[in-house]
Amino acid sequence: MARERLADFRSDTVTQATPRMLEAMASATVGDDVLGDDPTVKALEQRVAAMFGHDAALFMPSGTMSNQCAVAAHVVHGEEVICEASAHVFLYEGGGMARVAGAHVRAIPGDHGMIPVDAIRAAIRPPDLHMPRTALVMLEQSHLFSGGSILPQHYLKAVRELTQEHGLPLHLDGARLVNAQAETGIPYEEYGALFDSISISLNKGLSCPIGSMLIGGGAFIERAKRVRKWLGGGMRQAGHMAACGLVALDEVLPLIPEDNGRCRHLGLSILGLPGLVIDQRTVDTNILFVRVTDPDLDAPAVEASLRDHGVMALTMGERRLRFVTHRGISDADVDRATRALQAIVQDR
């Protein structure tokens, strides 16, 4: 008997290539991307750069590499980066800003990913040889740790005005920017106008097996390409992977609103369940944090029980669980997760 498929809510990184992607991989026209002659990579880079109204883009193996190459391309060793204290680039990229870019990091607590503009202004260093020079400000859209919160456009514009006033570049970790854009409808070109550089993931909601794109000006991308080389990120016949990105923009990008909608449906279904609360202010995109309040349960216990019901979630501490919706999650999977959670808390 075939084993029942698990409903995997752990992350949108568990998505797998579509049949069209696999076909495109097999039939891609490729060259040596390190030598600059892979036509499929070039086509993807040109298309993504045009989406954002920037000069250039660079195909990367991972989002972490995209962010770290961006930092190292923007700053000189010993200069300071301002970011939010729970930003992915600060908490979950292995200390890469210090290791790769030699950057001094000033992490400022924010509200759902938003550092108060006045706090950013106060953190910008005056000219003083005793202090590191402020060289870069970074934001994250959507903001993972607050449950995929969307930073509003008026806030992004205010930060942009401040960085321009001080002559500082502004980078966006846009790993899940496509989920935010699906909700707001704000054109990608508008994001491109606000940020000097942007990274977007291909291997989360867009379902590619590998890849991230770093977008920016031509001179910046050339510097980032050199950093990518330092990190061993130069790939040869990378067009086989870049072909998936081209398919994703046509086939998967239009489906992103469905992922966000399923996450909201799951959140609504959890409301009122005894012993569980939604652990975020709003459900903006495709990420849902749930806090276990039942004193006789904890997150690892609920995670284990969910698996017995054919549902996978991710423990994020003693009392916090994360659910992420994506192309591999159906309406039936959301219903199965709801029934499983109901059974777990009602069995207490």
Rounded (10°) angle between helices 256-270 and 177-184: 80
Q: How far apart are CA 129 and CA 125, in angstroms?
A: 10
The fold of 19-251 is Aspartate Aminotransferase; domain 2 (3.40.640)
Taking the CA atoms of 30, 34, 35 and 41 in sequence, report the sign of the dihedral they define: positive
**pLDDT-based confidence at 332, cuts 50/70/90?**
very high
Count of Cβ atoms closer than 10 Å to residue 140 Cβ: 29
Minimal CA–CA distance to 65: which of 270, 266, 232? 232
- Between CA 177 and CA 185, with CA 182 as vertex, the angle to 5 degrees is 105
pLDDT digits (tens, 9 = 90+) for 279-317: 999 999 999 999 999 999 999 999 999 999 999 999 999
Class of the CATH domain delimited by 255-346 = alpha beta
Tell me, what's the pLDDT at 4? 73
pLDDT digits (tens, 9 = 90+) for 137-148: 999 999 999 999
Tell me, what's the pLDDT at 218? 97
**pTM: predicted TM-score of the whole model, two decimal places:** 0.96
Q: Which residues lie below 8 Å from residue 24, measured CB to CB, with a gap of 6+?
A: 243, 244, 246, 247
Rounded (10°) angle between helices 239-251 and 19-27: 140
Minimal CA–CA distance to 186: which of 217, 145, 144, 155? 155
pLDDT digits (tens, 9 = 90+) for 81-137: 999 999 999 999 999 999 999 999 999 999 999 999 999 999 999 999 999 999 999
Rg (CA), the chain: 21
52-55 CB contacts, 8 Å cutoff, 24+ apart: 52/188, 52/189, 52/191, 52/192, 52/198, 52/215, 53/188, 53/189, 53/192, 53/193, 54/192, 54/198, 54/215, 54/216, 54/217, 55/216, 55/217, 55/218, 55/221
The domain spans of the chain are 19-251, 255-346
Same CATH fold assignment for domains 19-251 and 255-346: no
Share of the chain above pLDDT 70, in %: 99
Side chain identity, residue 304: A
Least confident segment among 209-213, 270-274, 314-318: 270-274
Least confident segment among 64-78, 229-243, 334-348: 334-348
**pLDDT-based confidence at 344, cuts 50/70/90?**
very high
The widest CA-to-CA distance across the chain, in whole angstroms, is 71
Minimal CA–CA distance to 218: which of 23, 34, 89, 54? 54
**Mean pLDDT across the chain:** 96
Please say if the pLDDT value at position 272 is more than 90.
no
Tell me, what's the pLDDT at 3? 58
pLDDT digits (tens, 9 = 90+) for 155-189: 999 999 999 999 999 999 999 999 999 999 999 99
Please say if the pLDDT value at position 348 is more than 80.
no
Tell me, what's the pLDDT at 2? 45
Burial of residue 223 (number of CB atoms within 10 Å: 0-12, 13-18, 19+): middle
